[in-house]
Amino acid sequence: MQKEKNTAGRGRVSAPEKNKPVFTQVRIDEETFLKGKILAAVYDESFNSLMVRAVRNEIRAYEAEHGPLPEPARPES
């Protein structure tokens, strides 16, 4: 997995300004979680940053092959 440009220090990538963070709980098996924690440490980032980067990379790969995903519906503020 290619690492994104470091814009927030210590390996962390800051979120785009227009997007507010969404807090979620991801269900993941223990072995994957523990290996992910090791990988995050190798990249000097948090497990959460590793997960966000993985999802963003998957979206980019999908869109490169299939075209843009539709814009997500956003709740009204």
| Domain ranges within the chain, ordered by starting residue | 30-66
DSSP 5: P
Q: What Rg, from alpha-carbon coordinates, does the chain have?
A: 14
Position 14 scores a pLDDT of 56
- At 27-40, the pLDDT tens digits run 999 999 999 999 99
Percentage of residues of the chain with pLDDT beyond 70: 75
**Is it the case that residue 18 has pLDDT exceeding 70?**
no
Token reading at 17: 């300004």
Residue type, position 60, single letter:
R
Report the pLDDT averaged over residues 13-19: 59
Token reading at 47: 């497990």
Q: Taken in order 35, 32, 58, 76, is the CA torsion positive or negative?
A: negative
